[in-house]
Amino acid sequence: MTKQKKSALKEQEGVSQSEITNSISIKNIQRKRRAKPSVEDLVSQILKGDITALSRAITLVESKNASHVEKANAIIKSCLPNANNSVRIGITGVPGVGKSTFIESFGKYLTAQGKKVAVLAIDPSSSLTKGSILGDKTRMEDLVKDKNAFIRPSPSGDSLGGVARKTRETITLCEAAGFDTIIIETVGVGQSETAVHSMVDFFLLLKLAGAGDELQGIKRGIIEMADAIAINKADGENTKSAKIAKVEFNRALHLYPKKESSWTPKVTLCSALHNEGIDNIWNIIQDYVKITSENNYLQFKRNEQNKFWLIQTIEEQLKSSFFNNAEIKAALEKQLQLIEDNKTTPFAAADYLLGLRS
Amino acid sequence: MTKQKKSALKEQEGVSQSEITNSISIKNIQRKRRAKPSVEDLVSQILKGDITALSRAITLVESKNASHVEKANAIIKSCLPNANNSVRIGITGVPGVGKSTFIESFGKYLTAQGKKVAVLAIDPSSSLTKGSILGDKTRMEDLVKDKNAFIRPSPSGDSLGGVARKTRETITLCEAAGFDTIIIETVGVGQSETAVHSMVDFFLLLKLAGAGDELQGIKRGIIEMADAIAINKADGENTKSAKIAKVEFNRALHLYPKKESSWTPKVTLCSALHNEGIDNIWNIIQDYVKITSENNYLQFKRNEQNKFWLIQTIEEQLKSSFFNNAEIKAALEKQLQLIEDNKTTPFAAADYLLGLRS
């Protein structure tokens, strides 16, 4: 041992030992840096408004990994007592209507009023397009730099139900992190709009004034959902046609029965590009929140939405676990052929298939 | 024994024996009369066009008794090779539009053309109202006496799905019994109209010419389903407004995208009370059948309808067996309360409830 200490190797050993010590330290540091923070740590950081922790928790919500899902569920549960305290606004409109410009303008207006704004999205096509909506944050250049704004692109998913669940759970996390205004953007596709409508307090439809018949081709179901219609790009030479469109939409809205909320949907003009009419839209939303808080409709609607998601999630799961079963899949094909050959009825086939699982 | 034969009792015994013999014979006769005919007997009689056998089979279809259901399924299966050969026509319209008068007039016109006409109905409210639709056959006095017509009121049932299934199965039995034209009546309620639309080849909407705006208050979804709109009571002083309504409906129909069938929905006038315009409606239906047979849409649509009923039946059954489970019912109430108290999310509650069954 003493010989060794004196040998030339000693120095090398010393260096070697030192290297080992160093590399252990480094690994410890690296491990600490990489270390997945505990549920408790993440929750306490989220409640302090820490954006990194919030993003991390959302990533867990979006993960398919079972242990991530478990962790995400625990975080959400701990965040619940501090959630449910924001104004949730859904925004929809066909491509080209200027949704990004509008959200940038509206979001900046809100942060200037001292609001903390989270912008989320539901785009069921995002699993194919890798999240076209909000994926390109450069479309909201100013808002993205705003420390009181948080922008998160649409989660991807195999089903709208899955995407919607992730977004709904992200709302809870954002609320717990202190965001008091949640904006959820969606594309002009019927199903995703229904999903967004089922998780927001206020639903805003963005429209453009067109040259022809304003009412032709409009999805009636979407107009029925709207708490307000904002006709965007109402500037310059568009102003006149926008005003005409406003009259026509007001007339169209009067064809619908009065809403349960006792709120009369409003039609308004704006120019997101020139930041015009944005304040008025926020006033409309504040009026809505005031009226529906006073008549308890806001809380009633949230309860109904929760029931909807509960039932919806169960039904989707029941169906997918039945129809994705390999045995059922094979048998279903055979039964469909028998139906086509007039050898069985759809009802007898259904009874047979259900019998396979029970 | 011989003593007894000679005794006064003998005669009595004899009488007694004779009585027993008679009562056994009577019981045998009664048993035979009451005897439920076998599946084979019923099927062979149905295929001969025997109305009594047809009615008996439909009663089995409508029964909740498990052995009846089993028998009904066997009968339907045996009838299948002789079914699927009719023109199936759905007829809807709000109360007061004159559906009964129309079906009487239309049905009489068809039997006069040598057709065999079955008139069925779907009225999901019939379990409450004991079958208001077609329940009162006196509303179709002439048709009911017609030996080439068969009228059956709406089956009752707890769910629209159940009622629809019974009617769909009754179509098969009527077709096997030689009815080449099946008319299915429904009330102006959205859900039952969708059910009827999903089991007919041709969907006819009966309307009245009104005083005001023709398009206001019309359920857009129903107009979209219609292959033809017949404006009824187009007689006397109604004629002018009926003609105006025709123009308006034609305009409204043009707002819809072209149908998959490549059929352009027709608008026509009629007066069922005066038997006017009835022949034209039958011509329209014949045109439709010709066009959609040639382009294979008719068969395609029937296949799609069968798939719809298969999936629909399975989904309804999955849901009802889950939500009607006593354990789930109790747990669901508790979870809803936890959601309202912000102690769980709809998604976590759904996962928990689904876990109880797996």
Per-residue pLDDT of chain B (358 residues; tens, 9 = 90+): 444 444 333 344 444 445 555 677 777 766 665 667 899 999 999 999 999 999 999 999 999 999 999 999 999 999 999 999 999 999 998 878 889 999 999 999 999 999 999 999 888 664 444 444 554 556 788 898 999 999 998 888 778 888 899 999 999 999 999 999 999 998 766 678 889 999 999 999 998 886 344 444 456 678 888 999 999 999 998 899 999 989 988 888 887 778 888 899 999 999 999 999 999 999 999 999 999 999 999 999 999 999 999 999 999 999 999 999 999 999 999 999 999 999 999 999 999 999 998 6
Euclidean distance between CA atoms A266 and A284, whole angstroms: 8
Phi, psi of A89 (to 5 degrees): -120, 125
Whether chain A has a CB inside 8 Å of the CB on B77: the answer is yes
Write down the pTM of the prediction.
0.78
CB A28 within 8 A of CB A60: no
- How does DSSP classify residue A355? H
What is the number of CB-based contacts under 8 A between chain A and chain B? Answer: 122
Q: What is the pLDDT of residue A15?
A: 46
Question: What SS3 class is residue B267?
Answer: strand
Euclidean distance between CA atoms A226 and B179, whole angstroms: 49
Structure tokens at A291: 């009226």
Euclidean distance between CA atoms B253 and B228, whole angstroms: 10
Question: A256 Cβ partners below 8 Å, 6+ apart?
Answer: A223, A224
CB contact under 8 A, B343 and A306: no
Alpha carbon B89 to its chain centroid, in Å, reads 11
Alpha carbon B52 to its chain centroid, in Å, reads 18
ipTM of this predicted complex?
0.82
Euclidean distance between CA atoms B83 and B62, whole angstroms: 19
Q: In b/e form, how buried is each residue of B167-206, taking b as 16+ CB within 10 angstroms?
A: bbbbbbbbbbbbbbbbbbbbbbbeebbbbbbbbbbbbbbb
Residues 245-304 of A with CB under 8 A from B: 255, 303
Q: Is the pLDDT of residue A90 over 90?
A: yes
From chain B, the residues in CB contact with A258 under 8 A are: none
Structure tokens at A250: 């007001």
List % helix, strand, coil for chain B (3-state, nearest 5).
Answer: 60, 10, 30
Euclidean distance between CA atoms A342 and B77, whole angstroms: 9
- CA angle (A54, A57, A63) in 5-degree steps: 140
β-sheet with A149-151: strand ranges across: A149-151, A117-122, A181-186, A87-92, A202-208, A228-232, A266-269
Whether chain A has a CB inside 8 Å of the CB on B223: the answer is no
Strands A202-208 and A228-232: parallel
From chain A, the residues in CB contact with B344 under 8 A are: 77, 80
CB contact under 8 A, B168 and A347: yes
Euclidean distance between CA atoms B81 and B76, whole angstroms: 10
CB contact under 8 A, A342 and B255: no
CB contact under 8 A, B347 and A318: no
Domains of chain B: 36-81 (1.20.5.170), 83-295 (3.40.50.300), 311-356 (no CATH)
CB contact under 8 A, A339 and B306: yes
For the packed helices A51-62 and A39-47, what is the interaxial angle rounded to 10 degrees?
130
Residue to test with chain B: of A71, A347, A353, most B Cβ within 10 A: A347
- CA angle (A123, B318, A344) in 5-degree steps: 110
CB contact under 8 A, B346 and A317: no
Euclidean distance between CA atoms B287 and B282, whole angstroms: 9
CB contact under 8 A, B307 and A336: yes
Whether chain A has a CB inside 8 Å of the CB on B61: the answer is no
- CA angle (B247, B253, B254) in 5-degree steps: 95
- Of B308, B322, B344, which is closest to A77 when you measure between CB atoms? B344
Per-residue pLDDT reduced to its tens digit, A108-140: 999 999 999 999 988 866 444 444 455 455 678
Reported for B248-256, long-range contacts at CB under 8 A and 24+ positions apart, including other chains, are: B248/B214, B248/B215, B249/B207, B249/B214, B249/B223, B252/B214, B252/B215, B252/B218, B252/B223, B253/B223, B253/B229, B255/A216, B255/A217, B256/B223, B256/B224
Per-residue pLDDT reduced to its tens digit, A131-190: 445 545 567 888 999 999 999 988 887 788 888 999 999 999 999 999 999 999 987 666
Structure tokens at A300: 């009633």
- Of A310, A336, A347, which is closest to B165 when you measure between CB atoms? A347
CA distance A26 to chain B (A): 40
CB B153 within 8 A of CB B135: yes
Question: B201 Cβ partners below 8 Å, 6+ apart?
Answer: B87, B88, B89, B288, B289, B292, B298, B301, B302
Per-residue pLDDT reduced to its tens digit, A223-261: 888 999 999 999 998 899 999 989 988 888 887 778 888
